[in-house]
């Protein structure tokens, strides 16, 4: 009798824990899109930038894109080292996102709350978000950079 009671209790506790866990997961999924807004600037007429922004929107971000004929100046004022410049610069809270950074890395940056100036993908590598072209893909790194210009590899693709 005692073992049946313990077994029932164990089943009940497990069921309650599973329900609570599923409820938390559902709440997390429902919160998708609860990210800081992204204000992005691109060189006028650059089409890949809008493709990158659309990918972020599909991942739950709100993105506004504007043309900026003085993008280099804006980058310099934001503390983006010239050596890691891409074709667009975005601002999200206190972070700068430079170039074709994947949405998953931006989400990771937000969840880990890193003390960096931002993330960057140098240039316009084929296969990066917004630069997809069939099966063509180049290897590239996502760099985390600081206000003093130092950078480290955050992710590799």
**Cα R_g (the chain), whole angstroms:** 21
Tell whether 76 and 11 lie within a shared domain: no
Tell whether 27 and 39 lie within a shared domain: no
Tell whether 75 and 143 lie within a shared domain: yes
Residue 110: which of 50, 29, 26, 34 has the closest Cα?
34
Tell whether 106 and 73 lie within a shared domain: yes
Is the pLDDT score of 143 beyond 70?
A: yes
Tell whether 113 and 45 lie within a shared domain: yes
Query: What is the tens place of the pLDDT at every residue in 6-25?
Result: 444 443 434 434 444 444 43
Task: Find the mean pLDDT for residues 48-56.
Answer: 94
Query: What is the tens place of the pLDDT at every residue in 71-125?
Result: 999 999 999 999 999 889 999 999 999 999 999 999 999 999 999 999 999 999 9
For the chain, how many structural domains are there in total? 2
CATH number of domain containing 116: 3.40.30
Q: What is the mean pLDDT of the chain?
A: 84
Tell whether 49 and 115 lie within a shared domain: yes
What pLDDT, on the 0 to 100 scale, is given for residue 146? 96
Containing structural domain, residue 132: 35-156
Tell whether 18 and 54 lie within a shared domain: no
């Amino acid at each position: 009798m005692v073992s049946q009671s313990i077994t029932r209790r164990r089943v009940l506790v497990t069921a309650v824990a599973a329900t609570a866990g599923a409820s938390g997961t559902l709440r997390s999924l429902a919160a998708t899109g609860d990210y800081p807004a992204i204000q992005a600037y691109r060189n006028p007429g650059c089409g890949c930038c809008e493709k990158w922004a659309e990918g972020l929107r599909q991942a739950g971000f709100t993105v506004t894109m504007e043309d900026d004929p003085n993008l280099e100046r804006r980058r310099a004022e934001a503390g983006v080292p010239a050596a890691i410049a891409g074709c667009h610069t975005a601002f999200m809270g206190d972070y700068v996102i430079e170039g074709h950074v994947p949405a998953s890395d931006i989400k990771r940056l937000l969840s880990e709350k890193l003390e960096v100036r931002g993330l960057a993908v140098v240039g316009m590598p084929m296969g990066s978000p917004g630069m997809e072209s069939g099966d063509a893909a180049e290897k590239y790194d996502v760099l985390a950079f600081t206000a003093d210009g130092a950078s480290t590899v955050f992710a590799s693709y």
